[in-house]
Every structure is written in structure tokens, then in C-alpha cells.
Amino acid sequence: MNVSLGQLGDRYDPEQMRRRTEQIERAFTQVLSTETASAFALLVAPDQSVWKVTVDAAGALHTTKVPKGVPL
């Protein structure tokens, strides 16, 4: 699954962040459910860097940069 979010502006924009969050939610809703949940997701940034996204028991999201080609 690829979700292109485009470039972010130089300053935080709550409306832009809301739209991006909804875009991610729509994309994930199409392929994931609570019955097929995964422990992490890999996302590709506009600069092609790869990020592993996880969630802790409190619901906080955490990101870790992942070198391309490294097995998880």
C-alpha cells in the first residue's frame, strides 16, 4: 500500500494535519481491521526514507527510521 501525503509546510497547520490524518486513516481502513491488526507499519517518506511506526499500550505512536534492505 502506498499513501502519498505530499510535502508538509514549514509551520504546523492543524487543518493540514487533520486532512493528512484522515487520508492515512482511509488508506489503512481499506486494508486493516482489528482482526488482522499488525504490530507495526512501515511508511515511506517523500524523501524515500523508510519509517517503522508502532503504538504503545497508552496509544502513543512511535517512529523509528529503518535502513532500506534491512530485515525486520
Outline where the chain has alpha helix (H): 14-31
H/E stretch holding 44:
strand 41-44
Q: Are residues 2 and 32 in the same domain?
A: yes
Q: What is the pLDDT of residues 10-45, one digit of tens each?
A: 888 899 889 888 888 888 777 666 677 778 888 888
Round to whole Å and give the CA distance between 6 and 60: 24
- Residues 32 and 43 occupy one common structural domain: no
- Shared domain for 56 and 71, answered yes or no, is yes
pLDDT of 34 reads: 67
Sorted by sequence, the CB contacts under 8 Å of residue 43 that are 6+ apart come out as: 3, 50, 51, 53
Q: Tell me the residue range of the domain where 1 lies.
A: 1-37
User: Do 46 and 72 sit in the same domain of this protein?
Assistant: yes
- Specify whether 20 is located in the same domain as 46: no
For the entire predicted model, the pTM comes to 0.51
User: What pLDDT is recorded for position 54?
Assistant: 94
- Average pLDDT score over residue span 59-65: 94
How many residues are listed for the chain in this entry? 72
